[in-house]
Structure 1
Amino acid sequence: MKPDFFPCAPPGSVGIWVAGGRKRERMAADRIRGLDGIRAIAILGVFYTHFVDGNSLLGDLAVRTFFVLSAFLITGNLVALRDAKRLSHLAALRSFYERRALRLLPTYFAMLLALVAIGLVTIRDGLFYHLAFLSNIWFAMGVDWNPWVLAHTWTLSVEWQFYLVWPLIVLSCANRWVARAAAGAIAIALAFWLGCYVTGYFTDNTVLWPPFSLDALGVGALTFFFSGMLARPTKIHLVGAILPAALWCAFQLADTDSHHQSLVVAFLLQILPLLPIAILIAVTASGTNPVVDRILGTRPLAYLGRISYGCYLYHLPILWLMMQILWRVFDYQLKGGIIQLIVVAIPTIAFSALSWEFIERPIQKWRTGSRQKAAQAKFTA
């Protein structure tokens, strides 16, 4: 049984580095709970779209949020690694990939192998694509979302494809050239949308190709470099946050009479949220707005954001599991709605918390301890 949904982006977690401002030292040392709050709200949007209303655009908005936030944090980390003293570019690159691999891969491959073991994923279902982080290519070429329990992994593939290129640019170039590269990424995305408009070719799977995510990733990178300006409380920035959001809501109600009009609306729904998201991230990261800090930094939201990678990774497999249990044990067919949200979201969050406490967090502690021991050995040598 297959749910009706649009797969959403992953809440990959990276360390916190923010350029500029008096809060920089605090951000470099501590995890910003408000950013975890943004992750939490985004994962709730994913849950709503996948479990309650497959036509809701909240999941699509979460896609954009996760990509912008990921590029923002990754760019900051790479700039910090590049500027670190006594660290070569090769060592910085190795450090970045080591951190990303240890953070994302163990749980991903464990989930994938579990699905293979119970027969939900086979070679015919694109297993090698999923192992190689080419899920977006697999689903873009397919006529349906098969296997649907891995449909959400397309966004992880887009992230890893971004990781293959972006670190090389940031570690090799000065900030002004990195910012220009980010602007170029946005231009590439716009060019692909223009190509769709000119040719008239656009399907639901078209946006899975990497170029269509470059606008959100580019905006995230630019947010890092212009975070001080975006976080400054001015009327212009208030309009910049509210007006695009209002237009985004209005275009959801647009009545499109032709394919080209529909394509324009689809493009606007993708591009309009980016500036409000960038402003929210910049304000949250700066720590200059107590109200935003208080709301997004609440403990429940912050903890949900902390375990949001697991929530994202496991939510579709757990949906399948709960569907099977209810059908086989209670002869009940689980359908989209509030009941499905409750029945699936609660065990997903619980399992993600266990995954964080017993798999992800111990790996992070092990890596931190290994680095400290290596540094001590080098110092005493």
Structure 2
Amino acid sequence: MARVQGRVKGLDGLRALAVVLVFLSHKAHVDAIDAGKIGVWLFFLISGYLIIGELHRNRLQIEQNGARTAALLYVFFMKRALRIFPVYYLLLIALTIVHASFYQRDVDLGLAWHFVFLSNFWVGLVHDGWPGTVSHFWSLAAEQQFYLVAPFVLLFVRASRHLRLCAALIAAAACAHLALYETGAIAPLIYAFSPWNFAMLALGGALAIAGDRVSLRTRWSSAVWFVGAWAAIAGFALARADCIDCAQTPASATQSAGALLPGCFDIGLALSLGALFLWLVRRQDSAFVAALEVRPLAYLGTISYGFYLFHNFVPSRLGVAPGLYARLDVPDVAQPFVAILLQFILAVLLAHLSWQVLEKRVLEWKRPLETAIRNRLPARAAAAASQP
């Protein structure tokens, strides 16, 4: 029987941590770690875990209970549309109006690309750079592209093959990601348009599908995966370097092998995040999960979509007032933190208003619409039983 997915504790808190990392990357310009990349990859892991897990269970319903594929497709796209489209397109329409009037008129924002969820393609291959305050839309485009393809693949392929599909995508994306580094692709192309972004979604899905098969009976299971992931990446990098060394001169071989190292680090980092995520969803009684369930953090995760959309539009000059700080005797070292805090508070306020006024109300339509679709297209067994 298809297992019903219960609520996984800690996911809202993890979303909150992810969006804070993205905020710090864009506003505080944290350079010690690539906070933005880690934050976006955590979002991808969570989305893959939830969405692929849902589609996998839906396919099991088709196989075991005679559920209608068409009904499941309609329900899936209805849920995604209600969650993503209203606030996103309202923001884009407002942005189009103000951009034509006064806002960043000297910057090519590529708004037409964002309307059709091709932001990642535009950033990486057309614009060849980050387009002002809409640069973060690339990750929304990647997720939407995934949503357009995943249901047609997973609902029409037997559930027993889903895990292999995820593994194949991860392996192929890893090779493509390394190839981008090896060919000297520009950073925005690697960041926004690399197939590895889809691999992160597939990794989350693989964790959802294989969750019941993975034993975490010991405290060291995730640690073993963590070490194994980095060992596998190191082994692959060394093997690749040996192949390059055999085919090229020593100087060019060293240069090519060095170019691969950031890509190998990306893959190792991603798999490590997967190990952490697996530990979180399988150790629901841990202190870390309890900390993620703290109400303010969980609520920030709930409104994280709006926060992500709006945070980059908060002016970076907000809170920058040296004269005022001098009169208030605010230490120079604390002034940047005050500015960042004010920007964060404004982003939270905008996200809160978006959730309460629009997003939450729109999502209330989800259950009645789902009921109407399922009544219109009942499972085959139920339809047969209702016939005289």
Alignment of 1:238-253 (within 5 A): 238-241=223-226
Alignment of 1:42-121 (within 5 A): 42-55=18-31, 56-84=33-61, 85=65, 87-119=67-99, 120=103
Give distance in 2, aligned partners of 1:375 and 1:92: 8
Q: What corresponds to 1:313 in structure 2?
A: 309
Give distance in 2, aligned partners of 1:289 and 1:65: 21
Query: Does structure 1 residue 323 correspond to structure 2 residue 303?
Result: no
Q: What corresponds to 1:352 in structure 2?
A: 351
Q: What corresponds to 1:202 in structure 2?
A: 185
What is the CA deviation profile of residues 267-312 of structure 1, one whole-angstrom value per residue up to 9, with x for unaligned ones? 1332122333223333333454332331221112111111111111
Q: What corresponds to 1:227 in structure 2?
A: 211
- Conserved 8 A contact 1:231-1:283: no
- Conserved 8 A contact 1:121-1:127: no
Give distance in 1, aligned partners of 2:193 and 2:151: 20
Q: Aligned in 2, Cα 1:121/1:375: closer, same or farther, shift over 3 Å?
A: farther
Deviation of the 1:372 alpha carbon: 4.6
Query: Does structure 1 residue 366 correspond to structure 2 residue 346?
Result: no
Q: How many residues align?
A: 341
- Conserved 8 A contact 1:52-1:340: no
- Conserved 8 A contact 2:177-2:195: no
Q: Could you tell me which runs of 5 or more consecutive residues in structure 2 were left unpaired when the two chains were aligned.
A: 234-253, 325-334, 379-385
What is the CA deviation profile of residues 139-191 of structure 1, one whole-angstrom value per residue up to 9, with x for unaligned ones? 11223322x11100000111111112111111011223211111111122122
Alignment of 1:166-177 (within 5 A): 166-177=150-161
Give distance in 2, aligned partners of 1:377 and 1:174: 25
Q: What corresponds to 2:340 in structure 1?
A: 341
Q: Aligned in 2, Cα 1:345/1:261: closer, same or farther, shift over 3 Å?
A: farther
Q: Aligned in 2, Cα 1:54/1:143: closer, same or farther, shift over 3 Å?
A: farther
How many percent identity over aligned positions?
A: 27
Query: Does structure 1 residue 293 correspond to structure 2 residue 289?
Result: yes
Q: Aligned in 2, Cα 1:231/1:130: closer, same or farther, shift over 3 Å?
A: farther
Give distance in 1, aligned partners of 2:370 and 2:128: 46
Q: What corresponds to 1:16 in structure 2?
A: none
- Conserved 8 A contact 1:228-1:286: no
Normalising by structure 2, what TM-score?
0.77
Give distance in 1, aligned partners of 2:229 and 2:164: 24
Q: What corresponds to 2:383 in structure 1?
A: none
Q: Aligned in 2, Cα 1:196/1:144: closer, same or farther, shift over 3 Å?
A: closer
- Conserved 8 A contact 1:228-1:282: no
- Conserved 8 A contact 1:182-1:218: yes
Q: What corresponds to 2:196 in structure 1?
A: 212
**Displaced runs of 4+ in structure 1, greater than 6 A?**
242-248, 324-327, 373-380
- Conserved 8 A contact 2:15-2:43: yes
Larger deviation: 263-272 or 73-82?
Answer: 263-272
Give distance in 2, aligned partners of 1:172 and 1:247: 32
- Conserved 8 A contact 1:45-1:59: yes
Normalising by structure 1, what TM-score?
0.78
